Amino acid sequence: MLVGTLNNRKEALNTLNIDNIRAEFPILDQDINGKKLVYFDNAATTQKPQVVIDAISNYYTGYNSNIHRGVHHLAEKATSAFELSRKTIKEFINAESTEEIIFTYGTTDGINLVAQTYGRSFLKAGDEIIISTMEHHSNIVPWQMLCEEKGCVLKVIPINDEGDILFDEYKKLLSEKTKIVSVVYASNALGTVNPIAEIIEEAHKVGAVTLVDAAQAMSHIDIDVQALDIDFLCFSAHKLYGPTGMGALYGKKELLNKMPPWRGGGEMIKEVTFEKTTYNELPYKFEAGTPNIADVIGITAAIDYVNKLGKKNIADYENELLEYATERFEAISGLKIIGRAKVKVSVLSFVIDGIHPQDIGVLLDQQGIAIRTGHHCTQPLMQRLDLVGTSRASFAVYNTKGEIDRMVEGIEKAKRFLL
């Protein structure tokens, strides 16, 4: 258990009181189109508890100041709150040191950083990068850009119709040419939880470096980067009850040290003359310019919040919701659940015979129910499954079975309209 060394950490509750939890999310208490809001778009972004909102607003009202360089009281206070977030993340994922935690704009930014620094420096023509069929565009495009520039080759792990990767096929793709294996931990479109430990183990056997896209996994699955021997891991705070446009990249220190800086500017330097610049130490080498201080501080509040509830309690409850919803959805005629992987996070994608996913989304919205429709930024996956898109309900800790019942009624109503 990683909880305990920092202030304000309480013992994890054994059973969650969902009514109390809901009351901590002010946004949930509103009507949309005359109906009480049901928010089932949590894979896109989660809502924020009051403690996170307060942490951000307290910074601006109480101690807004630039960090690291100031000698005055406010600058010191802001700097320690900022650096506390690094420590909080370090403990949350069990990194070895805070130097291994680089603040980024989010998952996408982290993957680009690795592609543009590690990739550009250490990969050459003919080297291979492996991703999977179910990647988010964020974990496809940066590698395609790198391949284009360096003449590397992108290989894709196939999946079966249920949405599980074909592990034997993955092993066949691996060779001494494989330099990077970059795979999503939990799929935003199907819910699939990939066997990340085994994927990493196999990649390491051929000497490849691994990147884990933990955007969806972070709020549902306990992640220990040392136990999993992850080389790079990226996540976004906003899918973890934290602020948007903010996240972190974890990288093993030895790798980060070898990598050149990416963006140039203030903070990332040690000394600048017009002739030559020497770069700062980790993690500052990768953090040019004044960062988004308020939102970095918000991450501590978000992670503390998750720790207070207990990730396992959250996951257990969300699984209960997923099972309940799966059962209820299976009883809807013409509805087909897309994504039947053995292990899933609380993402439920579906299609209905004869109905375009967007039409379902629009009619649910009329009933106050927010879901996502479309390709979920996984167009190659949709092509593989031969779908134009899906409708997707994704659950968070504040959702309830009653809300799932409302969605089922909503879908039945939409079907009456559309068929």
Partner 1 sequence: MTIKEIQEEIIEDFELFDDWEGKYEYIIDLGKSLPKMSDEFKTEDNVIKGCQSLVWLNAYTEGDKVYFQADSEAIIVKGLVSMLLKVLSGHKADEILNADLYFIEKVGLAGHLAQTRSNGLASMVKQMKMYALAYTSQELKI
Q: Is 363 in the site for partner 1 (CB under 8 A)?
A: yes
Residue whose token pair is 């291979």 = 128
User: Is residue 40 within 8 Å of 26, Cβ to Cβ?
Assistant: no
For residue 156, list its beta bridge partners.
131
User: Is residue 262 within 8 Å of 117, Cβ to Cβ?
Assistant: yes
Torsions phi, psi of 340, nearest 5? -125, 40
Q: How many residues belong to the site for ligand PLP (CB under 6 A)? A: 12
Out of partner 1, ligand PLP, none, which partner does residue 188 contact, by CB within 5 to 8 A per kind?
Answer: ligand PLP
Q: Is 362 in the site for partner 1 (CB under 8 A)?
A: yes
- Return the structure tokens found at 114: 């690795």
Q: Is 280 in the site for ligand PLP (CB under 6 A)?
A: no
Q: Is 343 in the site for partner 1 (CB under 8 A)?
A: no
Nearest Cα to 394, choosing from 412, 371, 410, 377? 371
Strands (DSSP E) found in 303-384: 335-338, 347-352, 369-370, 372-374
Kindly identify the residues of this chain, within the stretch 30-89, that bind partner 1 according to CB under 8 A.
Answer: 33
Stretch that binds ligand PLP, among 64-72, 131-139, 329-337, 342-350 (CB under 6 A): 131-139
Out of ligand PLP, partner 1, none, which partner does residue 405 contact, by CB within 5 to 8 A per kind?
Answer: none
d(CA 99, CA 84): 12
Q: Which of 213, 287, 295, 318 lies at the binding interface for ligand PLP (CB under 6 A)?
A: 213
Prior bond of 243 cis (ω within 30°): no
For residue 38, list its beta bridge partners.
369
Out of partner 1, ligand PLP, none, which partner does residue 229 contact, by CB within 5 to 8 A per kind?
Answer: none
d(CA 234, CA 229): 14
Nearest distance, CB of residue 224 and ligand PLP, angstroms: 20
Kindly identify the residues of this chain, within the stretch 270-289, that bind partner 1 according to CB under 8 A.
Answer: none
Helix (H, G, I), strand (E, B) or coil at 326: helix
Kindly identify the residues of this chain, within the stretch 225-264, that bind ligand PLP according to CB under 6 A.
Answer: 236
Q: Which of 138, 178, 192, 219 lies at the binding interface for ligand PLP (CB under 6 A)?
A: 138
List residues with catalytic annotation.
377
Residue 2 or 418: the one with the smaller Cβ distance to partner 1 is 418
d(CA 89, CA 2): 10
Stretch that binds partner 1, among 36-44, 79-87, 199-207, 363-371 (CB under 8 A): 363-371
Binding site for partner 1 (CB under 8 A): 33, 355-356, 358-359, 362-363, 365-366, 373-374, 388, 417-418
Q: Which residues bind ligand PLP (CB under 6 A)?
A: 106-108, 136, 138-139, 184, 188, 213, 215-216, 236
